[in-house]
Structure 1
């Protein structure tokens, strides 16, 4: 009960902070639109194609989630270290990774509102349609589980190396080009496609496009093994990322550098 209450408190606190910085949220929406339209012009060779932009919108939205989750976990721990309160969090009876999940849920909720507003404006402007189905929500949740695990890895490195903001930014930006957000993975060189399919959001983007654009039901995706692959990847990423975070936290404590910045 205490664990759940703590997670909900962290989520609520995060939502209050986001509400108090509404102007920053507005600027984020504007930036999302500018970058997306720029990507559309690059992919279309200077032309804007409704079909291509609709296809890209799904991948771009998942990339936004990737960037927000990975950077958010890193920024939270870094902020606590700078304020000198990081060690107090580790003294809580609630595991730190659950506190991080609570804060990330707040970030996820605000990000979802922003991304939905952005997507609605883009689809209305393009006069395009994306069929919203419950199957897409299932795939999204499974993908986010793997993404949270990847975020734990970056968060663990923050505890040891402290200033890893550049690494978080580099990782998030690399995903934009490697996870099929802009171009289908099938168009990559074979070796690069194999690497891309091991990343935490690539398979999720592929399946979201299959369900939202091609209207494929979940049982077909399960039958051909693609949904099983996504589930396996997310379990490995979440479990592995959590173990890496716990190991990094233990190492930082043994070195006596947990609260050091």
Structure 2
């Protein structure tokens, strides 16, 4: 007599409820999947780190006419770290989403009872982890080569943390655009190219023409880098960067970007579900 095989019944969609525990489980599963996917191709990450380090050092040698400008290195290192965090986090977020849309797995994931924004939080965490690793490595190596040390001013962590949040909100906007258009890759490339040119990664912002500095402040990371450098190297206090308007503008810019990204994601996701384009372009 054959023995009966017992399997656990699958939960029905109506039995699932979003709670802190169930939400954390969904986010954790998405993060584990994303990290495993990224680590499946380590050579690409090594090449990215190598190119990023050589690119920055090469730019600094050009700006210094064959030598490193040690008076400019500390401020530009703060800026380049934010650029690499933005570049790599947005690349992971957008490329993974486009690939999964084309393969149909993004549509399958959205058939789960968990709200789509919970899944996107897991994707943002994956992007921030991978972006953070690349940013730290790509900043530490040039700092060691140039013998750069940073003053220990804990107050600088607040504006720099806002830089990271600012980056993630912008990355979420790109992901919201990616739901509706595969051409978002071109926009991501253009945006990150403008950031490295104008956020202080080549030259400190105060060396730019006034009109160009105003334009640069509308790009992600620029305001945060300016505030962080003011605290680290100019001795400004948090009260100082608040009273001069830098910190309030940074907060307002980040909140506005977060609200815009959330509304855009909900709109594009709802439209893709309605039109049956969630799993295809």
Question: TM (normalized to structure 1)?
Answer: 0.90
Q: Name the stretch that deviates more: 3-12 or 197-206.
A: 3-12
Asked if structure 1 preserves the Cα contact closer than 8 Å seen for 2:53 and 2:141, the reply is: no
Q: Which residue is 2:181 aligned to?
A: 161
| Aligned partner of 1:126 among 146, 149, 153 | 146
Q: Which piece of structure 1 moves more, 177-186 or 199-208?
A: 177-186
After TM superposition, give the deviation of residue 22 of structure 1 in Å.
3.2
1:27 maps to which of 47, 54, 77: 47
Q: Deviation at 1:88?
A: 1.7
Residues 110-152 of structure 1, C-alpha deviations (whole Å, 9 max, x = no match): 3323332333332222122112443233222222222222222
1:76 to 2:96 alignment = yes
> Deviations for 1:224-246, whole angstroms, at most 9, x for unmatched residues?
32111111111111111111111
Deviation at 1:166, TM superposition (A): 1.9
Higher percent of residues as helix = 1
Q: Please say if residues 195 and 220 of structure 2, whose CA atoms lie closer than 8 Å, have aligned partners that are also in contact.
A: no
Unmatched runs of 5 consecutive residues or more in structure 1:
none
Aligned to 2:246: 226
Quick one: distance in 2 between partners of 1:213 and 1:16? 39
The unaligned stretches of length 5 or more in structure 2 are 1-20
Q: Aligned runs of 1:83-232 on 2, under 5 Å?
A: 83-232=103-252
- If you compute each CA radius of gyration, which structure gives the higher value, 1 or 2? 2
Q: TM-score, normalised by structure 2?
A: 0.84
* 1:39-83 superposed Cα distances (whole Å, 9 cap, x missing partner): 102222333212222221111111111112222221121011121
Moved more, 80-89 or 20-29: 20-29
CA distance in 2, matches of 1:118, 1:77: 25
Aligned residues: 261
